[in-house]
Structures are given as C-alpha cells and as structure tokens.
Amino acid sequence: MYVITVLGNLLIILATISDSHLHTPMYFFLSNLSFVDVCFTSSTIPKMLVNIQTQSKTIRYEGCIIQIYFFTLFIVLDNFLLAVMAYDRYVAICHPLHYMVILNPFLCSLLALATWLSVVSLFYGTSLGVYLSSAVTPNSHSTATASVMYSVVTPMLNPFIYSLRNKDIKSALRRLLWGTPGKGPVGPPQ
C-alpha cells in the first residue's frame, strides 16, 4: 500500500509538470496535494514497516517527537490544500469567465505557500475514533486498523479520487509513460 501511495502520487506530480496543458490552478493544487500525501505517509509508514519486520514496538523519544511534528504538519497541510482546492472549484463554477484572472499564478503560489503546501470524512472519522475509543477501551487491533485507514488508505486513494478519473490526467500519463497521445505503448505499425 505504501509503494502504491508513493508511486501513484509521484506519477500525478510528474504528469502535471511534464504536460503544459495541465499548468492550470486546479492541477497545480492537485500536484501539491500529491506531494503532501507522499510526505504524510512517509512520516510514519517506514518506521511502522520496520517495526512490523523486526517485531519491535519501540521508538526513541526524539524520533517520536519528530514523527509527531511532521505527521501533524502534513495533516494540516493536507486539510488546507483541500480547502484551497474547494475554493478553486468554487471560482471555476461561479465565475468561469474570470477564473484565470482571479486564480492567477501569483494567487495560486500564495495559496499553496499559505497552506505549505484525502477523503476528509474518512480521515477525521477514523482519527477521531482512534483517540476517543482508546480512552474508553484499549483495543489495539481496532486502533491499529483505524490508524491504517487514515494514515495509509486515504493518501493511497487520493490519486484515484482526484485525478485518475480525470481525462486530462489520463492523457498526460499516457504521454509521459508511453510517449503517445492517449494510445497505449508504442508498437510496430499494423
């Protein structure tokens, strides 16, 4: 799941950077969200995978503090980027003729910088559930399951939810991976 999360989000970033048709505010924010999702999962999952492999449940105090800091930082960034993306869609729908004037490159950069740089209900529901349920009943299996849901599954699903259903992203990925305009791998002429 971690590899799928990282590769999926990195593909979105590469497709957005490499295709000039995707140099719009919507895709700028989408690539920022993908970057934050890679950072978010990378702040905790590698240590978790090491702990699973070594059957160890220990972490040094300094490592714990650093991990909590970056985990919280990227959660907040993820949420702010989702809010900025909602504003972007609001402007595109309610003011379509002024969209490029309102969301000019300066404002987009400013908004991304302000948020810096995810199924929100899944994230909040499971994370809130983890902390509330741990106070009531210390069931480590349900806590671990909920933690995986908001720290691994949500960032893994974001590329599919926000971009792979989008024809422009699909086309850019085809050009990036196969060098053709939306056709699959290049092969001999038929």
Residue 19 lies in a domain: yes
Residue ranges making up the domain that contains 70: 2-117+153-178
Residue 189 lies in a domain: no
C-beta of residue 105 within 8 angstroms of C-beta of residue 142: no
pLDDT at 119: 45
> Does the predicted TM-score (pTM) go above 0.75?
no
The closest alpha carbon to 158, from 134, 123, 116, 130, belongs to 123
Measured distance CA(132)–CA(140) in Å, rounded: 13
Residue 188 lies in a domain: no
User: Going residue by residue through the chain (190 aa), what tens digit of pLDDT does each one get?
Assistant: 888 889 988 988 998 898 888 888 888 888 998 999 899 889 888 888 888 888 888 888 888 888 888 888 888 888 888 888 899 989 999 999 998 888 888 888 888 777 766 444 555 566 666 656 555 555 566 666 666 666 677 777 777 766 666 777 878 878 888 776 654 444 444 4
Please report the DSSP string for 45-97 in residue order. HHHHHHHHHHT-----HHHHHHHHHHHHHHHHHHHHHHHHHHHHHHHHHH-GG
Residue 80 lies in a domain: yes
Phi first, then psi: give them for residue 57, nearest 5 degrees: -120, 25
- What's the domain count of the chain? 1
Measured distance CA(46)–CA(27) in Å, rounded: 28
pLDDT at 183: 47
Q: Residue 15 sits in a domain of what CATH number?
A: 1.20.1070.10
Residue 134 lies in a domain: no
